[in-house]
Amino acid sequence: MTDREQPVTLRTRKFIRNPLLGRKQMVVDVLHPSRANVSKDELRSKLAELYKASKDAVSVFGFRTQYGGGKSTGFALIYDSQEVMKKFEPHYRLVRYGQATKVEKASRQQRKQRKNRAKTVRGTAKAKGAAKDKKK
């Protein structure tokens, strides 16, 4: 059998219905004795099937495999609709699921260097302005 065909058992704990955020939230225990781990994409589709929801409205994150393998534990959110998910879910997770595009920006170091270069330019401009005032 291939890896995807190996049996996987999902158990949910600490199930809470959160009407203010329009979602169901729960801790998910994944039993996978003959596999190293289970992909988040596969977990999303299995949870959607289990709770009769759209796969696009399911968010899974924070999975940790227990020492020795065979069991992973993480968190799942099942939103009432995709619109509610886009409203409340963090942008980086929407990017992971392909529901938003990543904002491309310069690296952190480049942004800091640009900021500091701009500071020096402004400083000299201020000094020139102050020198002119003193001459008057």
Q: In this predicted model, what pLDDT tens digit does every residue of 73-114 receive, in sequence order?
A: 999 999 999 999 999 999 999 999 998 899 899 999 999 998
Across the strands, what pairs with 78?
24, 58
DSSP code at position 103: P
pTM listed for this prediction: 0.76
Tokens of 113: 């260097």
Residues contacting residue 29 through CB under 8 Å, at least 6 positions apart: 10, 11, 12, 13, 71, 72, 73
Q: Pick the residue with more confidence: 31 or 127?
A: 31
In the predicted model, what is the mean pLDDT of the chain?
Answer: 87
**What tens digit of pLDDT does each residue of 117-126 get?**
888 776 666 5
